[in-house]
Amino acid sequence: MTHRITLIPGDGIGPEVSSAAKKVIRAAGVDVDWEVQHAGLEVAKLTDTPLPDSVIDSVKNNKVALKGPCGTPIGGGFRSVNVSLRQRLDLYANVRPVRSIPGVEERFDVDITIVRENTEGLYAGLELMILPGIAQSLKLTTAYCSKRIADYAFRYAVKHGRKRVSFAHKANIMKISDGLALDSTREIAKNYPEIELREIIIDAAAMTMVRDPNSLDVIVTENLYGDVLSDLGAGLVGGLGFVPGANIGDESAIFEAVHGTAPDIAGRGIANPTAIIRSAVMMLEHLQETAAAQRIETALYRQYREGKVLTGDIGGSANTRDFTSELCRLIEEGS
């Protein structure tokens, strides 16, 4: 079977790591017809928009996309490509599995998943300057979106054999908005009696993540909290260069590297492609190419365990091409 998938290479090191992911997917025996679409800073310079309508149309048509990092100006300029994609395509679930890799950040042994609501909260972008020097951001919380993300988290827990869903909130302070989200989650939890619901204040959740992360199992939370916890989780397993990410809706899904564009090393061929390769594994699982996904993950863990061909960010001397070639070799050897 040939899968038609949108590829958004992105900015900076995005094209380099995206190319590596394509090679790894091919080595795993999956046939893909890639439709390349461009978004981000470089596109904005040419077209005055970082997210052309053609990108949205492509993802809608193909249902699945693999995406590299896209740059976003800080404090001004255009809106984040990531936020725009999530809202325009209603990709309401941001899913971040946080799992330790052999030989990377050995202080922790982590296996949790963070499920973050993707479309509302403070990231709805409802901001205004109410008086000179006084800015206001409105936090949008609806029962509909709160129930939808909670249901996704519980379904994820059932599918992946998890025991607990931990809902992280601040309902002790934001009694109306987070209170609504908490009540909505409790209502959904009744439909999944086999899964334990744990309610935890967001600051306590952050502390627990660095003391006993696996006790949280599957974390579900609102947009801003989930953004912060996701990066905290990445720090436990070596950084953003090692964790995958997915943005999933009822109609479409985008799988992406969650790290930045790393303009300081762009074009030098030394970027570590692990994050986008692990995102590709999630994508293959989504496409029910589970055997190929398992072959890639097994080979990747073996490569890190052996420690012979690794990139400079973790003490190796390999460039992106060498790292990718070795991974492809291990995949083919294990087939």
203 flagged as catalytic:
yes
111 flagged as catalytic:
no
Q: What length is written for the chain?
A: 335
Instruction: State the CB neighbour count (10 A cutoff) for residue 305.
Output: 11
Distance, in Å, from the CA atom of 318 to the CA atom of 299, rounded to the nearest integer, reads: 17
Q: DSSP assignment of 140-188, as one string?
A: E--HHHHHHHHHHHHHHHHHTT--EEEEEE-TTTSTTHHHHHHHHHHHH
170 flagged as catalytic:
yes
Distance, in Å, from the CA atom of 320 to the CA atom of 271, rounded to the nearest integer, reads: 6
CB 296 within 8 A of CB 12: no
Residue of 291, 285, 330, 289 lying closest to 307 (CA atoms): 330
Beta bridge partners of 111: 99
How many CA within 13 A on the CB side of residue 302?
Answer: 15
Distance, in Å, from the CA atom of 126 to the CA atom of 137, rounded to the nearest integer, reads: 6
DSSP one-letter code for 190: T
Among residues 22, 92, 156, 170, which one is catalytic? 170
Among residues 123, 156, 225, 304, which one is catalytic? 123
Among residues 109, 111, 203, 250, which one is catalytic? 203
Q: Please state the φ and ψ torsions of residue 246, each to the nearest 5 degrees.
A: -145, 145
Residues assigned a catalytic role: 123, 170, 203, 227
